Amino acid sequence: MVRMTQGLWLWCIGIGLLVVPGLLALPWLAVLGWERLGLERWRERGWGAKIGGLLSLGAAGGLVLAVGLSLIGEPQRLEFWGRVYGSVVHVQLVVDAFLIAWTAMVWGWPKGGAVALAAFRESVRQPLFLFLTVIAAVFLLVTVVLPYFTLSPGDEYKMVKQLGSDIVMLAAGGFALLAASQSLTEEIEGRTAVTLMSKPVSRREFILGKYLGLLLAALALTAVLAWGLDWCLYIKLRWEEGRMINPPPPAPGWLEHGLSEGPGRSFVRGAELWFRDSLGNAPAVVAGFGQVMVLLALAVALATRLPMIVTLVICLTVYFLGHLAPILVQVARTQPGLNPVARGLLQFVAQLFDFLLPALELFQLGPVVVRDLPTETTALGLYLGSVLLYAALYSATALLAGLLLFEDRDLA
């Protein structure tokens, strides 16, 4: 009787685990359409037949999943497959978020949303997108096996986390700069922009739509690499746990409460650990994406007037000086042996750079990643919110300057 009750409970868990990805698949199934999926006959059925078919499919799938979990049996293997399940749900959530964002944008801002959607599609279809994704993924894998010569195994995990988040930011930032400078320059100089203006699409909608489309393309690249970074950190964590004498057990999660010990609980624990680790890795990636927002806005503004090479050189200069400006200010104040005239000139130049250039050091969470003390979640959330607000305000200022430059340009 007890075994039958446990089997029935495991069957219910299996059905629930299938319902979650099924519901998350509805948005992109609606976008693909019944015809593309070959489900025209399914659409023509009545609601009773549809509901009955879904219930039968869910019951059969839940039974298969429950049998599979019982056959695996070992808790560690079940946790691993739970992580795989969580990673699949993670991908579905990201895809649904993009679909909802695009639907809301096109519905609420038809002309600008159409420009943004076209820019997004053009960007992600470029070989550059795939090339940078593959190169960055290879570098992420290299960080896992790279020797760091640290005293503690936990320090290597932190180094991989910091290097991985920097790789994600550099790949997304490089893609955004190249795509913005190339796309805008080609459309303006190739007279494609003149065709768009005759739709009619205003210059404001053209610039802002291009920026949002390229920004979401960079966000898609960031999401893909962040997902890969989560797996790399999991591999590194398991590697380090194998080197420890007494590895710490994972903290219990709230999804496990109410579940008895067994295959279902181990599987659910693995899925929850995936999302818990992903959220723990997210702050450094989110802060890095703030830099991408600022640099992309500068590239879009400059590309309205300057050729591609000049735009890239200026953006790279801003990137390096934006990180060096606070150091220059500190050196100008504390450097010994300077005469008053040289010190005053150095302080003026350093403060001018610090005032005009974006404070990119605000987006660096390296000290938080590598520190041993735990960071308060509320304080970290407030800091990330303020940093993203700063990025949005600086980007808006750069785009406003770009609009002013673009308004006076003759496109004929």
pLDDT at 326: 77
Amino acid code (one letter) for 120: F
Residue 214 pLDDT > 90: yes
pLDDT tens by residue, 190-206: 656 555 555 677 788 88
Please indicate, yes or no, whether the overall pTM of this predicted structure exceeds 0.75.
yes
Q: Which of 295-304, 322-331, 368-377 has the lowest mean pLDDT?
A: 368-377
Average pLDDT score over residue span 180-194: 72
| Higher pLDDT pick, 46 / 136 | 136
> 193 near 210, Cβ under 8 Å?
no
pLDDT of residue 48: 60
Say if residues 392 and 384 touch (Cβ distance below 8 Å): no
**Residues 125, 182: Cα–Cα separation, whole Å:** 14
Residue 360 confidence (pLDDT): 83
Q: Which residue has the tokens 């964002």?
A: 101
pLDDT cut 70: percent of the chain above it: 71
CA dist., res. 47 & res. 240, Å (int): 53
Over the stretch 150-172, which tens digit does the pLDDT of each residue have?
A: 656 667 788 888 899 999 999 99
Which among 185, 216, 203, 12 is positioned nearest to 99, based on CA atoms?
Answer: 216
The structural domains of the chain, with segments of one domain joined by +, span 1-72, 73-407
What's the burial of 108, exposed, middle or buried (CB within 10 Å: 0-12/13-18/19+)? exposed
Q: What is the pLDDT of residue 399?
A: 92
Dihedral sign, Cα of residue 226, residue 283, residue 317, residue 357: positive
pLDDT band at residue 80 under the 50/70/90 scheme? confident
Cα–Cα distance measured from residue 346 to residue 336, given in angstroms and rounded to the nearest whole number: 13
* pLDDT band for position 2 (cuts 50, 70, 90): very low
User: Do the beta carbons of residue 173 and residue 298 sit within 8 Å?
Assistant: no
Q: How far is CA 40 from CA 34, 44, 49, in A?
A: 6, 7, 14
Residue partners of 210: CB distance under 8 A and separation at least 6: 115, 116, 119, 180, 183, 184, 300
In terms of residues, how long is the chain? 412
**Residue (of 291, 182, 285) closest to 232 by Cα position:** 285
- In angstroms, rounded to a whole number, what is the distance separating the alpha carbons of residues 305 and 409? 8
Residue-averaged pLDDT of the chain: 78
Q: Could you report the per-residue pLDDT of 328-339, keeping only the tens digit for each?
A: 777 777 766 666
Q: Is the pLDDT of residue 4 over 50?
A: no
| Predicted confidence (pLDDT) per residue in 267-280, tens digit | 788 888 899 889 88
pLDDT at site 373: 47
The percent of residues in the chain predicted with pLDDT above 90, rounded, is 23
Average pLDDT over residues 105-134: 89
Q: Which two tokens stand for residue 372?
A: 């041993």
Task: For 209-229, give the DSSP string.
Answer: HHHHHHHHHHHHHHHHHHHHH
Give me the pLDDT at residue 1, please: 44
